[in-house]
């Protein structure tokens, strides 16, 4: 039950408990996209607090992807050898009701101090194996252009760093922040990839498209990140519209994330099997450019993996059983002597 459906005193008291527990913010740009007459509006569902958030399940976690276990110092999450997260801020222009960092983001949660940023930069500089730094948090594009210029200069000065990636919701939820000054602040010696978080086609308003176009025309590749959410995009039509909207906004769909088990988010949950079935149906319907990878972030900080669907499986006779985009099954014979990767035994020869 969303904020605009509440009618009793007890509902209002329950909603107050939600807003005391988790941060709430909705930008004017997002408010303008919400249809107040639709009790199931997919935009409102993402941003307006709901008393369903009080329903916390035993398996839900404060830190569902295990950031803390991989954080050697403030602002750094180092889970993989070649890349790490640099969390500059803990605030966002909106607070998504399903956010996996909902217990750490919010007003009043400070970002990195100058000394902490210097320590984080020193940590990255001392590790030549780090190829990629991912700015997220909090939303890094909530920072002023002046502050971003300082941070980008520090990152561009690290010789072994290959690329910088920025995860942000700003181009869709607060597109006015994408100014010429901010775009210029992101342009430096190293390539910057911008990963735009959006979950519904309607988020790509004309102003959001203008913001994406300005970033793209400045030479910043744009990738799309979405979360599979019950009541927002859990249908073939909603996902098709979303990924096509991304492409026409110059954003290549990159990841469709399975929902993390953050507290009070079970009303958004879609099963893995449903997610796989949706992805299978999209395969036959949409261009390959419109296909993101369906991803699970394994709880506890164990990393991200694609979770299918799987289209090719090895049969006992050594053939591959391949499913086409329309669900029909085919046998695929690799031929007499396909090259095997080192250490992989050739399958037994097929008996005729
Ligand atoms: S913008 Fe990102 S970090 Fe901020 S609340 Fe939404 S999902 Fe969480």
Q: What's the pLDDT tens digit per position in 36-92?
A: 999 999 999 999 999 999 999 988 888 887 788 889 999 999 999 999 999 999 999
Mean pLDDT of the chain: 92
Q: Is 101 an active-site residue?
A: yes
Task: Answer positive or negative: Cα dihedral of 166, 46, 200, 236.
Answer: positive
Residue 342 pLDDT class (50, 70, 90 cuts): low
Please state the rounded mean pLDDT for residues 229-258. Answer: 98
Pocket test of ligand 1: the residue of 105, 203, 257, 259 to mutate, having most ligand atoms within 8 Å of its CB, is 105
**Residue 95 · residue 265 · CB < 8 Å:** no
Please state the rounded mean pLDDT for residues 327-347. Answer: 72
Please state the rounded mean pLDDT for residues 240-257. Answer: 98
Residue 5 has pLDDT above 50, yes or no: yes
How are strands ordered across the β-sheet holding 329-332? 312-314, 320-323, 329-332
Residue 123 pLDDT class (50, 70, 90 cuts): very high
Lowest mean pLDDT among 124-128, 245-249, 291-295, 315-319: 315-319
Residue 227 pLDDT class (50, 70, 90 cuts): very high
- List beta partners, residue 84: 133
Residue 206 has pLDDT above 50, yes or no: yes
Q: Is 99 an active-site residue?
A: yes
- List beta partners, residue 50: 2
Please state the rounded mean pLDDT for residues 301-310. Answer: 89
d(CA 326, CA 244): 20
> What pLDDT, on the 0 to 100 scale, is given for residue 351?
42
Q: Is 212 an active-site residue?
A: no
Beta strands 320-323 and 329-332 are antiparallel
Q: Is 79 an active-site residue?
A: yes
**Residue 132 · residue 86 · CB < 8 Å:** no
**Residue 317 · residue 351 · CB < 8 Å:** yes
Please state the rounded mean pLDDT for residues 337-351. Answer: 54
Cα distances (Å, whole numbers) of residue 251 to 22, 92, 185, 190, 236: 30, 21, 20, 20, 19
**What percent of the chain lies above the pLDDT cut of 90?**
78
d(CA 68, CA 163): 24
Residue 168 has pLDDT above 80, yes or no: yes
d(CA 350, CA 348): 6
Residue 240 pLDDT class (50, 70, 90 cuts): very high
> What pLDDT, on the 0 to 100 scale, is given for residue 68?
82
Catalytic hit among 147, 285, 304, 319 = 304
d(CA 83, CA 331): 39
Residue 93 CA, ligand 1 centroid: distance in Å = 9
Catalytic hit among 45, 79, 87, 97 = 79
Residue 8 pLDDT class (50, 70, 90 cuts): confident
> What pLDDT, on the 0 to 100 scale, is given for residue 202?
98
Residue 106 CA, ligand 1 centroid: distance in Å = 9
Catalytic hit among 169, 260, 263, 294 = 260
Q: Is 41 an active-site residue?
A: no
Residues with CB under 6 A from ligand 1: 92, 94-96, 99, 101, 105, 138-139, 169, 197
> What pLDDT, on the 0 to 100 scale, is given for residue 234?
98
Q: Is 83 an active-site residue?
A: yes
Residue 336 CA, ligand 1 centroid: distance in Å = 52
> What pLDDT, on the 0 to 100 scale, is given for residue 2?
62
Ligand 1 atom having least distance to the Cα of 173: 1
**What percent of the chain lies above the pLDDT cut of 70?**
93
Residue 4 pLDDT class (50, 70, 90 cuts): low
Q: What is the pLDDT of residues 308-336, one digit of tens each?
A: 899 999 998 889 999 988 889 999 998 87
Residue 6 pLDDT class (50, 70, 90 cuts): low
Q: What is the pLDDT of residues 17-27, one digit of tens each?
A: 999 999 999 99
């Amino acid at each position: 039950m969303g904020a605009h459906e509440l009618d009793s005193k007890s509902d209002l008291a329950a909603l107050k408990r939600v807003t005391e527990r988790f941060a709430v913010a909705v930008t004017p740009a997002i408010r303008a996209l919400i249809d107040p007459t639709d009790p199931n509006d997919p935009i409102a569902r993402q941003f307006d607090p709901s008393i369903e958030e009080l329903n916390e399940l035993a398996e839900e976690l404060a830190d569902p992807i295990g950031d803390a276990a991989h954080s050697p110092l403030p602002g750094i999450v180092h889970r993989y050898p070649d890349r790490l997260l640099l969390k500059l801020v803990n605030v966002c222009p909106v607070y998504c009701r399903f956010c996996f960092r909902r217990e750490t983001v919010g007003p009043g949660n400070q970002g990195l101090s100058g000394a902490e940023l210097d320590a984080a930069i020193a940590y990255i500089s001392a590790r030549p194996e780090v190829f990629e730094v991912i700015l997220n948090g909090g939303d890094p594009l909530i920072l002023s252009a002046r502050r971003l210029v300082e941070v980008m200069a520090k990152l561009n000065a690290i010789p072994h760093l290959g690329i910088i990636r920025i995860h942000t919701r700003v181009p869709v939820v607060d597109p006015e922040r994408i100014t010429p000054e901010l775009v210029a602040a992101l342009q430096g010696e190293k390539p910057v990839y911008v990963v735009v978080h959006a979950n519904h086609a309607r988020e790509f308003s004309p102003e959001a498209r203008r913001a994406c176009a300005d970033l793209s025309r400045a030479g910043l590749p744009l990738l799309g990140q979405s979360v599979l959410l019950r009541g927002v995009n859990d249908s073939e039509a909603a996902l098709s519209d979303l990924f096509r909207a991304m492409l026409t906004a110059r954003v290549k769909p990159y990841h469709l994330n399975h929902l993390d088990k953050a507290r009070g988010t079970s009303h958004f949950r879609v099963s893995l099997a449903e997610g796989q079935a949706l992805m299978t149906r999209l395969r036959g319907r949409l261009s390959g450019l419109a296909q993101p990878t369906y991803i699970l972030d394994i709880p506890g900080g164990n990393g991200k993996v694609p979770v299918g669907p799987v289209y090719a499986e090895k049969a006992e006779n050594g053939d591959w059983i391949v499913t086409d985009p329309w669900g029909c099954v085919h046998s695929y014979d690799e031929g007499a002597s396909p090259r095997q990767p080192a250490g992989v035994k050739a399958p037994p020869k097929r008996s005729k």
